[in-house]
């Protein structure tokens, strides 16, 4: 892996300019209006660009860029379907169809957390406590994904150990989050959003121009299909510009189900039921502001997810053309080129030892590491015993350089291919993006613990001192749990997997009750609670006993099956299917069936939830209950 350390004067200048600009905007924000709620209180309009970019910056973080960009480097451009859903579902459907009903209902009911919105809509403490508990318990998984992404990037960019980077990252987060930096300052969010936009434009332009333009870059990547690692080929990887092989009942279709069900559907649809997203809608001033945020949000998300997915995939082509040279001996030819200057072969890697002899590089299993190489030169050299042999030199896909660790792909590409100053700017923007995302996450954890759990269980009023203490403690506990998860779990593409688990869980448990509650008066309290229980129960069962990667990591399934990683280990494909595919339809069905046979909410409550004319009465009722 290529790490860089040491700062030149230009790096220091870039850092200083960035910090001064951020500090100045932060100071401006703290002097006056700083958050969306402040703008709303003051009755002022937020410029739609500031609204949309600060909104996007809250949700886009290291998880999307480092985690999912890395997965695209591993699995290819099929991940662009996720970008398509991010724009079509996460922006268009969310803003156009869910934003205004959420905002209106949240304001009328006086809801300030996602759990409170559901609880007040269904007049049920149980619903609120259930939602709050789920968010409090599982949101740290998503925070861990963001933290891991930032730490891996810092480790690669500055050439330090992951553990050191994680420690620094955790301390910065604690310093930012614990003393009260939880509140997003819109101007600084917007600045880092713009830095990210410029960085993504530069990243795309640089990558395409280095590879000869859009068509040429894609064609070269397509031609590298025979360099896909054998392990990935075995599960259906057909090349970085192809969808994985589709079918059912054989291991060679596994990748299709990983990409489509976990990565694309789990995250692409799960975004609709994200608790922070729903609460963010409530901070919007009006329907007009939501409409105006759609185009900017779409452009922002296209760049923030599309660019890393394209660049992640193309980083394989860049490394095959410009990456550091690797050396070794040919094991088998993959593809002999007619003019002999770009033969491809499986090569057993070697390195020159101190004495100048070429010795094998051993892999994890203590056997010589064999990787696909685009051969550029051949020469006769000697080994340890003085025997002469042909040494080939060449380059490989980025997967070889990062030893198959997807989470290292984007950081390695940026630290190797891009100018160092760009890596610094990119890191600072990522750090800021991670901070604003984690602010939002820990804010959600804190308010869920305080308002949804503590206040509902103990019947304490809003804002009481013990409740505030519960919120603050929850933030600290959430932070410690997230750091522990980041430190402990490192294998595979954990950033994307953690994100997908949280998004999928939210979708299955919350989405039917949330959307049903916004649009259908006939949805009942029992129906909502049953739907949430079924969605969560099936997801949890699936993660514990069926989905092999997660189940085997948790370890419970081995006790039941005598060592197998899944209850369905002998049935191909099921162990890689995401729980959302089963849990979401069943929780939706449960909501419909149970609501049909249980007592409907009373009319007065429905009027308060849905009628425009009832706002004054709702306000009076709320004020009455407060004082």
Interface with another protein in residues 464-483 (CB under 8 A)? 468, 471-472, 475
DSSP 576: G
Q: How many CA atoms lie within 13 A of 17 on its CB side?
A: 10
Kindly state whether residue 341 participates in binding another protein, applying the rule CB under 8 A.
Answer: no
Kindly state whether residue 216 participates in binding another protein, applying the rule CB under 8 A.
Answer: yes
Q: Which is nearer to another protein, 420 or 622 (CB)?
A: 622
Q: Which is nearer to another protein, 119 or 306 (CB)?
A: 306
- The footprint of another protein on residues 541-600 (CB under 8 A) is none
Q: Which is nearer to another protein, 183 or 420 (CB)?
A: 183
Residue 242's Cβ-count burial label (10 Å; 0-12, 13-18, 19+) is: middle
Kindly state whether residue 316 participates in binding another protein, applying the rule CB under 8 A.
Answer: no
d(CA 297, CA 465): 38
Q: Which is nearer to another protein, 269 or 370 (CB)?
A: 269
d(CA 429, CA 62): 10
Smallest distance, Å, CB 218 to another protein? Answer: 3
Contact 165, 154 (CB under 8 A): yes
Q: Which is nearer to another protein, 241 or 539 (CB)?
A: 241
Smallest distance, Å, CB 87 to another protein? Answer: 4
Kindly state whether residue 118 participates in binding another protein, applying the rule CB under 8 A.
Answer: no
Phi then psi dihedrals of residue 394, to 5 deg: 180, -165
Angle at CA of residue 503, ends 66 and 249, nearest 5°: 90
Contact 506, 580 (CB under 8 A): no
Stretch that binds another protein, among 59-67, 158-166, 461-469, 534-542 (CB under 8 A): 461-469
- The footprint of another protein on residues 182-211 (CB under 8 A) is 182-183
Kindly state whether residue 41 participates in binding another protein, applying the rule CB under 8 A.
Answer: yes
Smallest distance, Å, CB 276 to another protein? Answer: 13
Kindly state whether residue 139 participates in binding another protein, applying the rule CB under 8 A.
Answer: no
- The footprint of another protein on residues 61-90 (CB under 8 A) is 76-78, 80-81, 83-84, 87-88
Kindly state whether residue 446 participates in binding another protein, applying the rule CB under 8 A.
Answer: yes
Other CB atoms within 10 Å distance of the CB of residue 231: 10
Which one of residues 108, 237, 327, 344 is an interface residue with another protein (CB under 8 A)?
108
Which one of residues 96, 198, 359, 596 is an interface residue with another protein (CB under 8 A)?
96
Kindly state whether residue 119 participates in binding another protein, applying the rule CB under 8 A.
Answer: no
Kindly state whether residue 180 participates in binding another protein, applying the rule CB under 8 A.
Answer: yes
Q: Facing residues of 375 across strands?
A: 394
Kindly state whether residue 460 participates in binding another protein, applying the rule CB under 8 A.
Answer: no
Kindly state whether residue 241 participates in binding another protein, applying the rule CB under 8 A.
Answer: yes
Among candidates 230, 151, 229, which has minimal Cα distance to 490? 151
Other CB atoms within 10 Å distance of the CB of residue 132: 31
Stretch that binds another protein, among 4-12, 137-145, 338-346, 441-449 (CB under 8 A): 441-449
Question: How many residues form the binding site for another protein (CB under 8 A)?
Answer: 74
- The footprint of another protein on residues 480-509 (CB under 8 A) is none
Kindly state whether residue 37 participates in binding another protein, applying the rule CB under 8 A.
Answer: yes
Q: What is the DSSP string of 177-235?
A: HTTTTTSPPHHHHHHHHHHHHHHHHHHHHHHHHHTTSHHHHHHHHHHTGGGS-HHHHHT
Kindly state whether residue 447 participates in binding another protein, applying the rule CB under 8 A.
Answer: yes
Smallest distance, Å, CB 454 to another protein? Answer: 13
Q: Which is nearer to another protein, 243 or 581 (CB)?
A: 243
Q: Which is nearer to another protein, 38 or 383 (CB)?
A: 38
Kindly state whether residue 121 participates in binding another protein, applying the rule CB under 8 A.
Answer: no
Kindly state whether residue 38 participates in binding another protein, applying the rule CB under 8 A.
Answer: yes
Binding mask 264-303 for another protein (x = CB under 8 A): ------------------xx-xxxxxxxxxxxxxxx--x-
Q: Which is nearer to another protein, 239 or 575 (CB)?
A: 239
Smallest distance, Å, CB 395 to another protein? Answer: 20
SS3 358: strand
Smallest distance, Å, CB 48 to another protein? Answer: 8
Find the radius of gyration of the CA atoms of the chain: 26
Which one of residues 123, 210, 222, 621 is an interface residue with another protein (CB under 8 A)?
222
Structure tokens at 298: 């779409």
Contact 545, 234 (CB under 8 A): no
Smallest distance, Å, CB 308 to another protein? Answer: 13
Which one of residues 6, 32, 179, 215 is an interface residue with another protein (CB under 8 A)?
215
Q: Which is nearer to another protein, 83 or 486 (CB)?
A: 83
Q: Which is nearer to another protein, 212 or 555 (CB)?
A: 212
Structure tokens at 193: 């959003």
Q: Which is nearer to another protein, 131 or 534 (CB)?
A: 131
Among candidates 521, 68, 28, 524, which has minimal Cα distance to 258? 68
H helix count then E strand count, the chain = 30, 5
Kindly state whether residue 112 participates in binding another protein, applying the rule CB under 8 A.
Answer: yes
Contact 549, 263 (CB under 8 A): no
d(CA 224, CA 233): 13
For residues 294-307, one letter each, b for 16 or more C-beta atoms within 10 angstroms of the residue's C-beta and e for the rest, the string is bebbbbbbbbbbbb
SS3 of 90-112: HHHHHHHHHHHHHHHHHHHHCCC
Which one of residues 50, 91, 227, 330 is an interface residue with another protein (CB under 8 A)?
91
User: Alpha helices, DSSP H only, in 577-614?
Assistant: 580-597, 603-610
Smallest distance, Å, CB 574 to another protein? Answer: 23
SS3 of 171-190: HHHHHHHCCCCCCCCHHHHH
């Amino acid at each position: 892996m290529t790490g860089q350390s040491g700062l030149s004067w230009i790096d220091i200048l870039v850092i200083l300019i960035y910090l001064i600009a951020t500090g100045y905007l932060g100071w401006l924000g703290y002097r006056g209006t700083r958050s969306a709620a402040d703008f709303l209180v003051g009755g002022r309009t937020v410029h739609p660009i500031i609204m949309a970019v600060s909104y996007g910056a809250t949700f886009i973080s290291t998880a999307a860029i480092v985690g999912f960009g890395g997965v695209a480097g591993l699995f290819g451009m099929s991940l662009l379907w996720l970008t398509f859903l991010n724009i079509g579902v996460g922006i268009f459907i969310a803003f156009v169809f869910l934003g205004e009903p959420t905002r209106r209902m949240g304001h009328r009911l006086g809801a300030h957390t996602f759990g409170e919105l559901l609880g007040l809509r269904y007049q049920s403490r149980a619903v609120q406590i259930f939602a709050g508990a789920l968010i409090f318990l599982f949101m740290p998984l998503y925070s861990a994904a963001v933290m891991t992404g930032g730490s891996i990037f810092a480790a690669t960019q500055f050439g330090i150990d992951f553990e050191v980077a994680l420690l620094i990252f955790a301390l910065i987060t604690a310093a930012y989050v614990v003393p009260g930096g939880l509140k997003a300052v819109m101007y600084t969010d917007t600045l880092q959003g713009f830095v990210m936009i410029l960085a993504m434009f530069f990243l795309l332009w640089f990558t395409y121009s280095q590879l000869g333009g859009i068509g040429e870059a894609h064609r070269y990547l397509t031609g590298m299909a025979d360099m896909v690692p054998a392990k990935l080929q075995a599960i259906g990887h057909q090349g970085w510009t192809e969808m994985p092989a589709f079918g059912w009942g054989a291991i060679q279709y596994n990748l299709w189900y990983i990409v489509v069900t976990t990565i694309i559907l789990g995250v692409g649809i799960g975004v609709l039921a994200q608790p922070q997203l729903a609460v963010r809608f409530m901070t919007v001033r009006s329907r007009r502001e939501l409409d105006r945020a759609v185009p900017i949000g779409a452009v922002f998300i296209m760049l923030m997810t599309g660019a890393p997915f394209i660049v992640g995939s193309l980083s394989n082509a860049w490394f095959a053309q410009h990456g550091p040279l690797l050396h070794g001996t040919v094991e088998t030819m993959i593809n002999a080129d007619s003019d002999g200057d770009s033969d491809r072969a499986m090569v057993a890697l070697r390195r020159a030892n101190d004495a100048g002899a070429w010795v094998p590089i051993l892999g994890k299993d203590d056997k010589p590491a064999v990787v696909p190489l685009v051969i550029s030169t051949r020469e006769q050299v000697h080994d340890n015993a003085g025997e002469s042999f042909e040494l080939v030199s060449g380059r490989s896909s980025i997967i070889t350089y990062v030893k198959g660790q997807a989470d290292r792909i984007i950081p390695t590409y940026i630290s190797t291919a891009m100018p160092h100053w760009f890596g610094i700017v990119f890191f600072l923007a990522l750090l800021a993006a991670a901070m604003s995302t984690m602010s939002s996450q820990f804010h959600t954890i804190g308010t869920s613990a305080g308002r949804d759990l503590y206040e509902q269980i103990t019947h304490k009023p809003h804002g009481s001192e013990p409740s505030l203490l519960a919120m603050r403690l929850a933030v600290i506990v959430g932070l410690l749990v997230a750091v522990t998860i980041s430190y402990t779990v490192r294998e595979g593409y954990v950033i994307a997997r953690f994100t997908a688990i949280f998004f999928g869980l939210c979708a299955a448990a919350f989405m039917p009750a949330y959307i049903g509650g916004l649009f259908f008066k006939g949805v009942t309290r029992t129906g909502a609670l049953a739907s949430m229980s079924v969605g969560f129960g099936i997801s949890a069962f699936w993660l514990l006993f069926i989905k092999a990667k997660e189940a085997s990591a948790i370890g419970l399934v081995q006790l039941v099956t005598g060592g197998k990683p899944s209850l369905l280990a002998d049935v191909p494909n099921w162990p890689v299917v995401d729980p959302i595919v089963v849990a979401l339809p069943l929780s939706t069905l449960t909501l419909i069936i149970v609501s049909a046979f249980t007592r409907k909410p009373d009319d007065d409550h429905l009027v308060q939830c849905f009628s425009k004319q009832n706002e004054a009465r709702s306000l009076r009722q709320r004020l009455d209950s407060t004082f």
